[in-house]
Amino acid sequence: MKRKKIGLFMIIFCISLIWLIPLVTTIVNSFTPVISQGTISEKGFSLEQYKEILVQSPIYLNMFWNSVGITLAVLIGSIIVATLGAYGFTTLNFKGKELLFFVYIVVMLLPLQVTLMPNYMVASKLHIEDSYWAIILPAIFNPFGVFVLRQQMKSLPRECFEAAMMDGAGHPHIFYYITLPMVKSGIAALIMLQVIEYWNIIDQAIIFIKKADQYPLSIFLARINNEASGVSFAAATFYIIPVLALLSYGHEYLKEGIGLMNVREK
């Protein structure tokens, strides 16, 4: 059994190299000093680039924190809205519920360019088109979260709710103490995917943010493909690592979704 596992591990590992290469090259290049543009052939090791982005020019750190701010605000808001919305969809039964959910899905499926323009119109009505709010508010109400969690809640055993109901527990109680822990893996998945989505935000940021000191790091990185200098690789590494760390942390929660048996055993 163990040998089989190791064999499987090796196979997947070999395949996963294709996924690893771009990351590895980015990290390696970030430590390679720039001799002249385009020729990074000379091997060497230097931390100059990191000194540049972390100490010398505050704009990178500033952009980094902008990214953190946007992602965090979206994340917190959207998780709250998504868990609540999904709970509503799961527990309530009313006419047109499926239709409403259907509308959620259809709107979610539309390409970004389509919703961007209506978003801009709403933002300009609210006079927030020059601020982060124009990005954050629509992101919080993105139907994606509701969709993911509702699908997750669908497969929860009904008996558990019934038991709680019989016990006289109210909905807030059930929501907080039963539903949330049980869809933990779904929430973890949602967090991971939302972080990825909004950490990489480009299109919305281009349209809404007009001031230099408000740009997220993603815009900068999306624009440097032609000048592959050491600094940009360092910035890219600096950009990737926190998310990777977060993802590996979130991954633990992804696994620990709480099944009924787990509880009973304890």
- Under rule CB under 8 A, residue 18 binds other proteins: yes
- Under rule CB under 8 A, residue 28 binds other proteins: no
Among 38, 44, 47, 127, binds other proteins (CB under 8 A): 127
Among 5, 30, 37, 216, binds other proteins (CB under 8 A): 5
Q: Which is nearer to other proteins, 35 or 245 (CB)?
A: 245
- Under rule CB under 8 A, residue 234 binds other proteins: no
For residue 122, CA distances in Å to 106, 141, 161 come to 20, 14, 39
**SS3 letters for 156-221?**
CCHHHHHHHHHCCCCHHHHHHHHHHHHCHHHHHHHHHHHHHHHHCCCHHHHHHCCCHHHCCHHHHH
Q: Which of residues 184-223 bind other proteins (CB under 8 A)?
A: 185-186, 188-189, 192-193, 196, 199-200, 202-203, 206-207, 210-212, 215, 218-223
- Taken in order 108, 110, 112, 117, the sign of the CA dihedral is negative
Q: Which residue has the tokens 């690893």?
A: 20
- Under rule CB under 8 A, residue 116 binds other proteins: yes
End-to-end CA distance of the chain: 27
Q: Which of residues 47-76 bind other proteins (CB under 8 A)?
A: 55-59, 69-70, 72-73, 76
Cα separation, 70 vs 201, in Å, equals 9
Q: Which is nearer to other proteins, 33 or 197 (CB)?
A: 197
Q: Is 95 helix (H, G, I), strand (E, B) or coil?
A: coil
Per-residue x/- mask for other proteins, residues 136 to 175, rule CB under 8 A?
xxx-xxxxx-xxx--xx-xx-xxxxxxxxxxx--xxx--x
Strand partners, 36: 39
Rounded to the nearest whole angstrom, what is the least distance from the CB of residue 249 to other proteins in the complex?
A: 10
Rounded to the nearest whole angstrom, what is the least distance from the CB of residue 31 to other proteins in the complex?
A: 16
